Amino acid sequence: MNKIVSHTLKISLVITVIIICICCKKTRTSVNKTEEPEAKFDKQAMLVNIADNLIIPCYADFKISLDSLILSYNAFKTSGTQSDFKSVKQKLQVAYLKYQRVNLFGFGPGEDLGIRANFNVFPSSALLINSNINSGSYDLASLANIATKGFPALDYLFYGLNQTETERIQAFVSSNNCRKYVSYLLEEMSSKTNSALSTWKTSYRTTFINSLGTDVGSSIGFVVNQINYELDYLKNYKIGIPLGLKSGGATLPDNCEAYYGGQSLQYALETLSSIENIYLGRSFAGSDGKGIDDYLDHLGINYLDATLNTAIKNQLLLARAKLSIVANPLSEQVVSNSVTVNNAYKELVKLLVLLKTDMPSNLGVVITYQDGDGD
């Protein structure tokens, strides 16, 4: 009897050991499946592509357009002619459009130099701008002047409100203070742009491409946060606030970006394109490189009945389609065609959920900025 019991115990012990080994093997296999893909993804190649084919070329292209605007304005200051004035306005629109691309890179040099705060705080304050011009005395570095400079101020000064082109030309011709003020605005923008581009080409590029983690302060963390910040900014400041979604339904058309020149929608679409390009790792010349989309696919992240990458790309297309059918100027559409504008807004909200919740959680990135609206 004792032999039978002993034999039974031995068999039970062997079976237990086998089960433990099988479980351990399954556990190791499971761990390897989640860790191995991430370890093998070339994150540095992705960062090199973003730096060399997106960020630096976008800053360089923006610099060219800003330099062209400055040359055009200097010619107008001398001539005062309508043809030169028209050229300035055309160059202003081009530079403002290309600014939408560098605005997405609001970290590193962009953050240190306060590019967004100095280039595109809207709506501008016409009252303060006129006060500065009339007095001829102002400190553009002061926080009190944050709404008196950059593109919104230039938009106001070159287009005006309910004024003819002849009236705007006369405002420049008859006022040396006005001419000097615009020169100061352009000089500040040029200085900051040159500094940002130079830093990216040298020291910060090295820092950026060698930061391979996903923690707070990493390059991937910066890129993911900036994508979401810019999309939040597009959704709220460029669409939602003018539409009245943050003011109890009272529309605020004069809060549109580029309100005076009427290019709000064009710039909103360019912002969405910039977000899409950096997500895809696609240069503005159309070259497809390694991007966050490849990272998600490599990790094998699924979403409903497809991949998360597919869901994001489909929602990008849908948001663009809805925004594209809104006519210019947006300041009129938020009043006369609010349903169409709101439909575009809703698709941006859906896109933000994917990019701000699902994407960061799967990449191990923490969203560090606060939007305050709960969307």
Written in H, E and C, the secondary structure of 179-217 is HHHHHHHHHHHHHHHHHHHHHHHHHHHHHHHCCCCCCCC
Residue 19 in any domain: the answer is no
Which residue segment(s) compose the domain that 49 sits in? 45-210
We report the CATH number of the domain holding residue 130 as 1.20.1420.20
Domain boundary among 210, 237, 252: 210
pLDDT digits (tens, 9 = 90+) for 306-354: 999 999 999 999 999 999 999 999 999 999 999 999 999 999 999 999 9
Give CA–CA dist 206/70, Å, rounded.
31
Are 199 and 55 members of one domain? yes
Say which DSSP state 80 is in.
Answer: -
Least confident of 16-20, 245-249, 358-362: 16-20
**What is the model's pLDDT at position 375?**
56
pLDDT digits (tens, 9 = 90+) for 221-233: 999 999 999 999 9
Residue 237 in any domain: the answer is yes
| Mean pLDDT taken over the chain | 91
Are 240 and 197 members of one domain? no
Q: How many domains does the chain fold into?
A: 2
**What is the model's pLDDT at position 284?**
80
- The tokens describing 160, both together, are 């005006």
Are 182 and 269 members of one domain? no
pLDDT digits (tens, 9 = 90+) for 157-188: 999 999 999 999 999 999 999 999 999 999 99
Are 56 and 94 members of one domain? yes
Q: What is the DSSP string of 228-279?
A: HHHHHHIIIIIIIHHHTTTTTT---GGGSTTTTTT-HHHHHHHHHHHHHHHH
Prediction pTM value: 0.88
pLDDT digits (tens, 9 = 90+) for 22-53: 444 333 333 333 344 546 899 999 999 999 99
**What is the model's pLDDT at position 104?**
94
**What is the model's pLDDT at position 373?**
61
Number of Cβ atoms within 10 Å of the Cβ of 129: 22
- Asked if residue 4 has pLDDT above 90, the reply is no
Are 170 and 315 members of one domain? no
Residue 242 in any domain: the answer is yes
Are 200 and 243 members of one domain? no
Mean pLDDT of 228-255: 97
Domain boundary among 210, 241, 271: 210
